[in-house]
Amino acid sequence: MNIRFVKNEAGANLQQLMDYAAQLTGIGDDFWEEHILNGVHYSILSNDAEIGYFTLFGNEKLTSFHMINSCLKLAQTIFRQILNDFCVKTAFVATCDELFLSLCMDNHKSIEMQAYFFEHSGASARPPEWGRELIKPAVMEDVKDILDTEYVEENIRAGRYYVMRENGVFLGQGFFHPDTLAPTQASIGMSVHTDHRCKGVGRSIIMHLTEISREKRFTPVCGCWYYNHNSKLTLESAGFVSKTRLLNVHFTEDVTHE
């Protein structure tokens, strides 16, 4: 059997990747999907027939892997071949991605906890401390206050930023990003000005963006760095819970074994 890996010069097959995301048992977020969409996409060919595909981000990090069920007996061998042929060092893999996760575990040297993915529990939470009338879509005049440094104007033009002000004073910002691979889902997030932390600003922003997402007919999801304990507590206090983790898997240098 002749196995080949062919780079998709046209980039991602979006429908293929949407189908990939749909078959997972849990959720992802915009950070996870950006590492898939912005990676280099390869088809796995057996005798010129496509039997799977994978994504390589930054030339050394696997961010997706899929094979058709009829060829799964080849998955371990092919996965190891990919690690060797492309000198893959790490992988971002969600714990809801069973095949990819299992293959990473077969070959891992070490694992770092990368992120939590959150979805709303459906349970009620205490009301937000700050009213919805204080949060508005960001405009270009808000650039000076936005707490990020990259793609700020681009994201404002795309309607992804919200700002919360009281009497003109900037309290914090929200982020709203309709996801590409899960088109019924939107990733939301928040950042709070240092002068206004521990006052309920963050959870209020998240709760209002949850309402806004649902009004726009999106299911809200959130993510945060695994070690950002304050963000985790904020999201949980706004009614979100996490069943899924993102792992940063490091591979052994020599993965060729029987």
Q: pLDDT category, 255, cuts 50, 70, 90? A: low
Does residue 251 carry a pLDDT above 60?
A: yes
For residue 253, the model assigns a pLDDT of: 76
Task: Describe the strand order of the beta sheet including 240-251 as a list of residue ranges.
Answer: 3-7, 40-46, 49-57, 61-67, 90-94, 240-251, 108-120, 219-225, 185-192, 169-178, 161-166, 135-137
Does residue 256 carry a pLDDT above 50?
A: no
Mean predicted confidence (pLDDT) in 30-42? 96
- Mean pLDDT rounded to a whole number for the chain: 96
CATH number at 120-241: 3.40.630.30
Q: pLDDT, tens digit, for every residue of 56-112?
A: 999 999 999 999 999 999 999 999 999 999 999 999 999 999 999 999 999 999 999
Does residue 258 carry a pLDDT above 60?
A: no
Q: pLDDT, tens digit, for every residue of 185-208?
A: 999 999 999 999 999 999 999 999
Does residue 163 carry a pLDDT above 90?
A: yes
Does residue 244 carry a pLDDT above 80?
A: yes
Mean predicted confidence (pLDDT) in 18-43? 97
CA distance 182 to 135: 26
Span of 106-110, 116-120, 249-253 with lowest mean pLDDT: 249-253
Does residue 44 carry a pLDDT above 50?
A: yes
Does residue 226 carry a pLDDT above 60?
A: yes
Do 120-241 and 3-118+246-251 fall under one CATH topology?
yes
For residue 106, the model assigns a pLDDT of: 97
For residue 254, the model assigns a pLDDT of: 65
For residue 196, the model assigns a pLDDT of: 97
**CB distance 218 to 181 below 8 Å:** no
For residue 120, the model assigns a pLDDT of: 98
CATH number at 3-118+246-251: 3.40.630.80
Q: pLDDT category, 10, cuts 50, 70, 90? A: confident
List the chain domain ranges.
3-118+246-251, 120-241
Mean predicted confidence (pLDDT) in 13-27? 95
For residue 257, the model assigns a pLDDT of: 46
Of 138, 160, 115, 125, the C-alpha closest to 234 is: 125
